[in-house]
């Protein structure tokens, strides 16, 4: 667990990241989190899990295969998600101008730690 928490903490060191979490992909519940004050962890977890599920169905229908990385860009913020092994999803909530590439790398590392 300390290793996972360390991986989440590394993600939150990326400038603009407001929080990183491990979320149960099926139930949308929080498994572990590293959040700035004011970030509603439960809401982020539930909504991101639901979005990943819906996107997965669309991607499979399109023949694209299972999603490996998701990036929802809003005017004022960004949601990133990486489906990881064991049905877990690594989720990041960040500012709109976050360095997505850097956050993605750290999220992929965190996902590898779950193997």
Binding site for another protein (CB under 8 A): 40, 43-44, 47-48, 50-51, 54-55, 57-59, 61-79, 93, 96
Shortest distance, position 105 Cβ to another protein, whole Å = 13
Shortest distance, position 5 Cβ to another protein, whole Å = 23
Q: How far apart are alpha carbons 98 and 44 in whole angstroms?
A: 17
Of 1 and 63, which CB lies nearer to another protein in the complex structure?
A: 63
Of 3 and 57, which CB lies nearer to another protein in the complex structure?
A: 57
Residue with tokens 């491990």: 22
Of 6 and 95, which CB lies nearer to another protein in the complex structure?
A: 95
Q: Is 91 exposed, middle or buried (0-12, 13-18, 19+ CB in 10 A)?
A: buried
Shortest distance, position 83 Cβ to another protein, whole Å = 10
Chain centroid to Cα 74, Å, comes to 15
Shortest distance, position 101 Cβ to another protein, whole Å = 9
Roughly how many angstroms between the first and final C-alpha of the chain, as a whole number? 13
Nearest residue to 91 (alpha-carbon basis) of 74, 101, 104, 102: 104
Of 6 and 43, which CB lies nearer to another protein in the complex structure?
A: 43
């Amino acid at each position: 667990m300390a290793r996972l928490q360390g991986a989440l903490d590394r993600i939150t060191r990326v400038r603009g990241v407001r929080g990183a979490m491990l979320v149960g992909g099926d139930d949308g519940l929080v498994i572990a989190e590293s959040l700035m004050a004011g970030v509603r962890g439960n809401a982020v977890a539930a909504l991101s899990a639901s979005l990943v599920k819906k996107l997965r169905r669309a991607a499979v229908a399109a023949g694209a295969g299972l999603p490996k990385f998701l990036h929802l860009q809003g005017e004022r913020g960004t949601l990133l998600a990486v489906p990881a092994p064991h049905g877990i999803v690594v989720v990041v909530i960040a500012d709109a101008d976050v360095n997505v590439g850097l956050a993605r790398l750290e999220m992929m590392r965190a996902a590898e730690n779950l193997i």
